[in-house]
Structures are given as C-alpha cells and as structure tokens.
Chains A and B, each alone.
Chain A
Amino acid sequence: MSNPVAIAAVSEMKPGRYPDKSGFDLYLDVVRQFLAEWSVKPSDIQGLLACPSGMAEGGSNDIFVHEQLYEELGIHPLFADTMNAGGSTYGLMVQRAALAIKQGVADSVLCLGAGKFPKVGTGGAELMARMVSHEIYEFPYGTFIPAIYAQVASRHMFEYGTTPEQFAEVAVSSREWALKNPDAVMYDSEPLTVATVRGSRPIATPFHLFDCSIPVEGGAAVLVTSELVAKRFSNQPAYLLGMGEYHSHRNIHQAPSLTNVGCRYAGQQAYQRTGLTPSDIDFAEIYDAFSVNPLVFMEDLGLCEKGKGGEFFESGASRPGGDFPVNTYGGLLSYGHTGDASGMSMIVEGARQIMGLAGERQLNKADVGIVHSYGGMMSEHSTLILGRQA
C-alpha cells in the first residue's frame, strides 16, 4: 500500500482476575505499562481510539472513555473516538487508524482496550445472554453465547462431516502454544488431549467446557503509525499490508450462512488490496471464543480447503513445530479471553511475531501473518495482513 502504515509498538497486561479494579483502573494499568515499555513522548500520540470496558460488568458507564483517557495522558489528539464492535473492535480500530494516517489526519494513533468479566453468580451471564440475541425473536427461546456458537458447529458437522473430536483438536493445539507463553493463564497447566476436552462437562452440544475460552480480565495497547514514526520505535515494525472488514448480521438466525461467514469477504478484501494470496501467509492469529471458530475461519480465509478445517487441525499443522502455526500465544482458549479487550490479544501476538518479539514461541518464518477477529455472534469481521516488508 502507498504511504505504509505499521504497528510500531504493542503492550498487553498479563491476563488474570483483578477483582478490585474497575474497567477504567485496568485502562490506567494498560497505559502505564505501555508508557514504561516503550519510550513514548506526548507528541508521539496524535490520535486515540478506545472501547467501553464495562459491557460484561452489565452496563457501560464509559461510553466516552476516550475523553477520560486523552485527558489522563495530557494530550490533545487530532483524531479520537470510543468505538465498539465486540471482538472485532480492535481489528477495526487498526483499520480506522490506518485510514486516518494514510489520509494525513494524524501520524500516529494509540488503540487501547481493557475488559472485565462479571463476577460469577451476579446475573452477569444472563445479562450477556440477553445482550447477544434479539430481545424479541431469540432471547425468549433460552439463547446464550455458547448455545449460539454451537449452531455454527452443528451446521459444519452436517455439511462437511466435521467431528466434535476435530473441534477438540483446536483446543489441544492452543494449549500447546499456551505452555510456551508465560503470560497465558494456562501456562502452568497440563497439555490437553482430545479425550480430556470431550470428557469435560457438556455445555451445549457439540461443545464441552474446554471447547470454550477462559474468561479473564486484562487489556492492551497497540500504536499504529506512519512508516517514518514506526522506524523511531522499532527496526522491524509490523507493516499493515492489507485489511478488510464485513458486517453480515447481528442475530445468528439472520446470518446468511453459518458455514460461509463474513470472514470470507473480509479476507478476500484484505488479499485483493495486497496482491497476496493465502499461500503467502506464514501463520494465523484467529479469534477463538470457541473451538469451532478457527476451524471455520481457516477455510474462509482460504488457508485450507472449504470443509477441510477439521482435517487441518487434526494433522497437527497448527501446533508448535507444525507447517502452519495458528494462535501462537495460546488463543482465547488457553491464553484467556479478556472480555471487552479480547480482540486485542491476537493483534498483539501477530505484531510480536512479525517484530521478532515473541520469545520462546518466536516462529522461524514469520514474514507475513494474518490476524482475523470477529464481533458479536459472528456478526462483524476484521482481517489484517501484517508483514516485515512494507
């Protein structure tokens, strides 16, 4: 792309439970850690995007959170907003930031996220359930998040013969990566097996407990800049080579298809805008609230044949040492799902792999990576292609 844009700096809190901190407290921790890790001057932040951190707390009182954040920072941005597209929020933030930078509105945009989950037994899960379905035409039937994603899994099983064991393979692969990531909540745990996943408690067929991501809290910062600014932060920034987004529905019964989802169209745009094809991609970081998602998205991103996602994960290719690493930080399944901030984790990891900052799990070949996130009930999709060469 002309006027190259890059991710110049990333920082993420260690995910965990922070019961004494509000969503905004987490935001302050994220900013403090980011400023300590990278030598950032106030003039380095010309734009700021943030997301309400209180959705899972049951009511956002921070729908103007960007105002408080830029005031705390003491900056006067030329470009700022609070936005929310669920898990795709941060992918879309990077896209909005890139458009602003290419347009010359700002040279740098700081994207921030923080997220909390409700305390168990406070009715938060029911509130979330009500929030993710149509109040009139879905919620009266007993909808909640895993039950909605299970519809996607069942349909894939019907159309392509995918098995519950193949979904479990996704969780097994993610756990192997988490065991290499000291920040992952499952870092100190045991490897998973398909039998352990299938033997965990049933939630909503075909999902058992370990097919579902682990709710935690946390947050992250991603600084998107022009190439000139990026070079001041890093010799190897993560260039944004391509991007695409697509919004297909809000409520799952309105999805045009459960097996060809908006990911496909977001991915196609990202490829078209770069001239790259799936064969150019070295690794993928894919939003995985449930085990089914990376399986479907590998297909929709053209990284394996339609209907062969199950075989792909069964082959072990996605695991450490495999031919096509997926979710190299442990995924939301084993790294942890930080609620409103969850869409940050795969962007941070994608950028770290490109920048060579991934520690023990650094890939040998990470020239070009794809980062896909979605929001809502597979409603809206963001695809980013990151690379080492502008």
Chain B
Amino acid sequence: MDENSQSSASIPAKPQPKITPWAGPLWQGCAEGKLRLPYCNQCEACFYYPRLWCPQCFNQGLSWQDVSGKGKVYSFSVIHQSPLPSYQEDLPYVLAVIELTEGPRMMTNIINCEVDAVSVDMPVEVTFEARGDMKIPQFQPTI
C-alpha cells in the first residue's frame, strides 16, 4: 500500500452496521443510550445478536429488554498491526469479547483506557460510539 496516500483526510470511515428489519430496537436503544437485547419469554433470557427466533428453543414470540450494560472481559487482544484502513489511526486498539452479567457475549472494542490496562475478567460497562448517523455499543472499564 502507498503510505503517502493515507493522509488523514483520506482515512475511510469505520464500518457502519447494516440494520436488519428484526434488529431495529437494538439500534433504537443505542440511540437512546440503552443496551436493548432480544428476550425470549419461554427461556426467560436475553440473547445476542438479534435473530428471528430464539436460538435456544426456536420460539418466535420475542420481546426486548434493556440490560445492565455491565459485564467482564472474556478475552481480548491488543492490535498492533491491522489490515483495515479505517482502524490505522487507532493503532494500537483493543479487540475484545465481553460477557454481559446477563450471559450473552458480544464483540467490542475496549475504549477510554490505556490498551495496557485491559485484562481478562476486568469489569466493563457499555458506552456508545457514533458511526455515521447511528450509534454502536462499545465497552469501557467500569468507572
């Protein structure tokens, strides 16, 4: 890649998630500053990511629930080299899988902290990052 072409003006925007029709409340929640997950009334449990049925019991009668947004780092990596043009400015960044108190795991970045401060099992909480005209869930150390 021609490094000179990567002036700050030409850095592409980070990916903006596509909103599927059955995931609307998740993204509406993010816009309101709430982590809102699909909830199965039969299993009495939330799951992630939004699907047309509950992956535990196939129930299609689903509702939505605002969850605590708190959890722990399940695993992580500090990224020093990335093939993704939109993430070059962020290097080094943290890619992590977090486990919510309610159970489901989510892919996320750990933001608003030094990358060396991140560890497995560290308590984290949700925060929201703007991507274009929408917001996406991100996680930061619990304050």
**CB nearest to A138 among chain B residues:** B107
Chain A, 74-113, CB within 8 A of any chain B CB: none
Chain B, 107-138, CB within 8 A of any chain A CB: 107-109, 120-121, 131, 136
- Of A63-71, A184-192, A202-210, A357-365, the one contacting chain B is A202-210
Taking a contact as CB atoms under 8 Å apart, the answer to whether B16 and A154 are in contact is no
- In angstroms, Cα B131 to Cα A125, docked, is 23
- In angstroms, Cα B75 to Cα A128, docked, is 22
- In angstroms, Cα B76 to Cα A206, docked, is 10
Taking a contact as CB atoms under 8 Å apart, the answer to whether B74 and A137 are in contact is no
Taking a contact as CB atoms under 8 Å apart, the answer to whether A150 and B77 are in contact is yes
- Of A53-61, A141-149, A315-323, the one contacting chain B is A141-149
**Which one of A121, A126, A133 has the greatest number of beta carbons of chain B within 10 Å?**
A126
Question: How many interface residues does A have (CB within 8 Å)?
Answer: 39
Provide the residues of chain B in CB contact with A136, threshold 8 Å: 17-18, 20, 23, 49
Q: Smallest distance from the beta carbon of A151 to chain B beta carbons, Å? A: 4
**CB nearest to A253 among chain B residues:** B107
Chain A, 25-81, CB within 8 A of any chain B CB: none
- In angstroms, Cα B116 to Cα A202, docked, is 14
Chain B, 24-63, CB within 8 A of any chain A CB: 48-49
Taking a contact as CB atoms under 8 Å apart, the answer to whether A142 and B16 are in contact is no
- In angstroms, Cα B90 to Cα A138, docked, is 17
Taking a contact as CB atoms under 8 Å apart, the answer to whether A140 and B106 are in contact is no
- Whether A137 touches B17, Cβ cut-off 8 Å, given contacts A147-B95, A154-B120, is yes
Of the candidates B15, B48, B93, the one whose C-beta lies within 8 Å of that of A140 is B15
Of the candidates B76, B82, B108, the one whose C-beta lies within 8 Å of that of A144 is B82
Q: With an 8 A cutoff between CB atoms, is A279 at the interface?
A: no
Taking a contact as CB atoms under 8 Å apart, the answer to whether A121 and B75 are in contact is no
**CB nearest to A142 among chain B residues:** B87
- In angstroms, Cα B136 to Cα A154, docked, is 25
Taking a contact as CB atoms under 8 Å apart, the answer to whether A155 and B75 are in contact is yes
Taking a contact as CB atoms under 8 Å apart, the answer to whether B107 and A147 are in contact is no
**CB nearest to A155 among chain B residues:** B75
- Whether A144 touches B83, Cβ cut-off 8 Å, given contacts A151-B77, A204-B77, is yes
Q: Smallest distance from the beta carbon of B133 to chain A beta carbons, Å? A: 14
Chain B, 62-118, CB within 8 A of any chain A CB: 74-87, 90, 93, 95-97, 105-109
- Whether A137 touches B95, Cβ cut-off 8 Å, given contacts A129-B84, A202-B81, A205-B78, is no
**Which one of A121, A135, A142 has the greatest number of beta carbons of chain B within 10 Å?**
A142
Provide the residues of chain B in CB contact with A253, threshold 8 Å: 97, 105-107
Q: Smallest distance from the beta carbon of B105 to chain A beta carbons, Å? A: 5
**CB nearest to B74 among chain A residues:** A155
Of the candidates B1, B15, B81, B108, the one whose C-beta lies within 8 Å of that of A139 is B15
Provide the residues of chain B in CB contact with A205, threshold 8 Å: 77-78, 80
Q: Hey, what's the 0/1 contact readout for A140-177 against B, CB within 8 Å counting as 1? A: 11111001101111110110000000000000000000
Q: Smallest distance from the beta carbon of B19 to chain A beta carbons, Å? A: 8
- Whether A134 touches B49, Cβ cut-off 8 Å, given contacts A143-B107, A252-B107, is yes
**CB nearest to A159 among chain B residues:** B120
Q: Hey, what's the 0/1 contact readout for A276-302 against B, CB within 8 Å counting as 1? A: 000000000000000000000000000
Q: Smallest distance from the beta carbon of A291 to chain B beta carbons, Å? A: 14
Q: With an 8 A cutoff between CB atoms, is A2 at the interface?
A: no
- Whether A204 touches B95, Cβ cut-off 8 Å, given contacts A151-B76, A154-B77, is yes
**CB nearest to A136 among chain B residues:** B17
Provide the residues of chain A in CB contact with B106, threshold 8 Å: 137, 253
Q: With an 8 A cutoff between CB atoms, is A235 at the interface?
A: no
Q: With an 8 A cutoff between CB atoms, is A201 at the interface?
A: yes
- In angstroms, Cα B8 to Cα A261, docked, is 41
Q: Smallest distance from the beta carbon of A387 to chain B beta carbons, Å? A: 37
- In angstroms, Cα B102 to Cα A231, docked, is 58
Provide the residues of chain A in CB contact with B16, threshold 8 Å: 140
Taking a contact as CB atoms under 8 Å apart, the answer to whether A203 and B81 are in contact is yes
**CB nearest to B87 among chain A residues:** A142
Provide the residues of chain B in CB contact with A157, threshold 8 Å: 120
- In angstroms, Cα B49 to Cα A135, docked, is 12
Of the candidates B85, B90, B107, the one whose C-beta lies within 8 Å of that of A134 is B107
Provide the residues of chain A in CB contact with B81, threshold 8 Å: 201-204
- In angstroms, Cα B82 to Cα A133, docked, is 14
The 8 closest A-B pairs by CB, nearest first: A150-B77, A125-B83, A158-B120, A155-B75, A151-B75, A202-B80, A142-B87, A140-B15
Q: A150-B95, A158-B121 are in contact. List 18 more A-B contacts (CB 8 A).
A: A121-B1, A134-B107, A135-B18, A137-B48, A140-B14, A140-B131, A141-B107, A141-B108, A142-B87, A142-B90, A142-B109, A144-B83, A202-B81, A203-B80, A203-B81, A204-B78, A207-B77, A258-B74
5 A-B residue pairs with Cβ-Cβ distance under 8 Å, sorted by A, are: A134-B107, A140-B131, A142-B84, A203-B79, A258-B75
